Amino acid sequence: MPNCPICKASSTVDPPTGDALNWHCPQCGSYRLAGTAESILREKPIAQFGAVSGWIRQQNALGIIPTISDVDMLRRLTKPPFRERAERYLLAVVAKASQFNAPLTPAGPDLTGASYSEDEGDVSVIRQYLVDEELIVQRQGGEWRITAKGFITADDLRARRAASSQAFVAMWFHEDLESAYSDGISAA
């Protein structure tokens, strides 16, 4: 299996269509990557790739498979504040819960990506914060569960985010900024 050009995880790639490949990475999610962008990433990888993995996962959650041709745009992405990263982790684990009392798998590349993390070390700090906030719990025997407070918090977060789905954009519309709008602002 080929390695994701962003996070280096073993991934799958669809047969080529045009100049872009469709990548399906367990950490980053699904994205299209132009051939020139791929060679740039292979030559000079992104150091803080968790920001990119999180951004792609966020796009996927909105039903968007982003097409990436501007590597400089990827390099400018930053990680959100810690609390937002913890909230995104919580929303991701709640989305995977089949029932309220279902055990939760607290680690995995999808959760690493959703929380804008590079590795399990970052995720363990986020998980400890959620334990301290009593949103998830580890029971005797090592089984993890989402608490009732965790489900309620996730409901509140989803409602708050749904209520803020519009934005106002004030910018100079010029061809030099077209990719900033189409690849960044509009997609977000």
What average pLDDT does range 144-165 have in this prediction?
A: 86
47 neighbors 58 (Cβ within 8 angstroms) = no
* pTM, 2 dp: 0.81
**131 belongs to a structural domain:** yes
Q: Using alpha carbons, select from 124, 130, 129, 125 the residue that is nearest to residue 145.
A: 130
**12 belongs to a structural domain:** no
Which range marks the domain in which residue 114 is found?
A: 82-163
Our count of domains for the chain comes to 1
Q: What token pair was written down for 91?
A: 């929303």
**27 belongs to a structural domain:** no
What average pLDDT does range 104-114 have in this prediction?
A: 93
**28 belongs to a structural domain:** no
**104 belongs to a structural domain:** yes
Q: Which residues contact 139 (CB under 8 A, 6 or more apart)?
A: 145
85 neighbors 110 (Cβ within 8 angstroms) = no
Percent of the chain with pLDDT over 70: 94
Query: pLDDT category, 171, cuts 50, 70, 90?
Result: confident
pLDDT reading at 163 higher than 60: no
Tell me which of 34-38, 58-62, 148-152 is least confident.
34-38
Q: What is the pLDDT of residue 188?
A: 61
What average pLDDT does range 96-115 have in this prediction?
A: 92
Q: The domain spanning residue 112 has which CATH number? A: 1.10.10.10
**146 belongs to a structural domain:** yes
pLDDT reading at 161 higher than 80: no
**135 belongs to a structural domain:** yes
Q: Taking the CB of residue 171, how many other CB atoms lie within 10 A of it?
A: 9
pLDDT reading at 61 higher than 80: yes
**103 belongs to a structural domain:** yes
